[in-house]
């Protein structure tokens, strides 16, 4: 299943997955990102946009990963704007991840803020 374009619901906010990169190769004995940082509960949202039924959350899968939200101010052309980006490190063994990432310690999902509150829940 393609992860990009689907959603994540974590810490009370919705995010769209805009990128996926594979983490390090797994090696026995070393600490994993999941050992070093506190995990967060999240929900993976399989999204279907448009179509006959409109925007639909096709399925929701609960999981646990390492969520990082970075916020700050960006200055450009004598203006300051608030900037935020988020990443989520997930296990490549999650049921919604394809086997092409076997042997990797984690996957890093790049997230952008989204709002799926008006999407209908499907099954």
Domain residue ranges of the chain, discontinuous segments joined by +: 7-117
Given a contact cutoff of 8 angstroms between Cβ atoms, the answer to whether 60 and 116 are in contact is: no
Paired tokens of 87: 């990443």
Write down the pLDDT at residue 14.
93
Q: Kindly tell me if the per-residue pLDDT of 1 is higher than 60.
A: no
Given a contact cutoff of 8 angstroms between Cβ atoms, the answer to whether 60 and 94 are in contact is: no
Give which of 118, 120, 109 is closest to 44, Cα–Cα. Answer: 109
CB atoms within 10 A of CB 50: 8
Residue 11's SS3 state is coil
Alpha-carbon distance 55 to 93, whole Å? 28
Q: Which residue has the higher pLDDT, 87 or 31?
A: 87
Residue 36's SS3 state is helix
Instruction: Give the mean model confidence (pLDDT) for residues 98-102.
Output: 71
pTM of the model: 0.79
pLDDT in tens, 37-93: 889 999 999 998 877 777 889 999 999 999 988 766 667 777 766 656 799 999 888
């Amino acid at each position: 299943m393609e992860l990009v374009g689907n959603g994540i619901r974590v810490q009370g906010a919705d995010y769209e997955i805009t990128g996926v990169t594979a983490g390090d190769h797994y090696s026995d004995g070393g600490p994993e990102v999941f050992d070093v940082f506190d995990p967060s509960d999240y929900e993976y949202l399989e999204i279907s946009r448009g179509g006959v039924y409109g925007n639909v959350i096709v399925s929701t899968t609960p999981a646990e990963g390492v969520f990082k939200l970075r916020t700050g101010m960006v200055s450009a052309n004598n203006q300051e704007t608030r900037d935020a980006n988020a990443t989520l490190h997930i296990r490549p063994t999650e049921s919604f991840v394809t086997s092409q990432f076997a042997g990797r310690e984690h996957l890093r999902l790049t997230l952008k803020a989204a709002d799926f509150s008006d999407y209908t829940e499907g099954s």
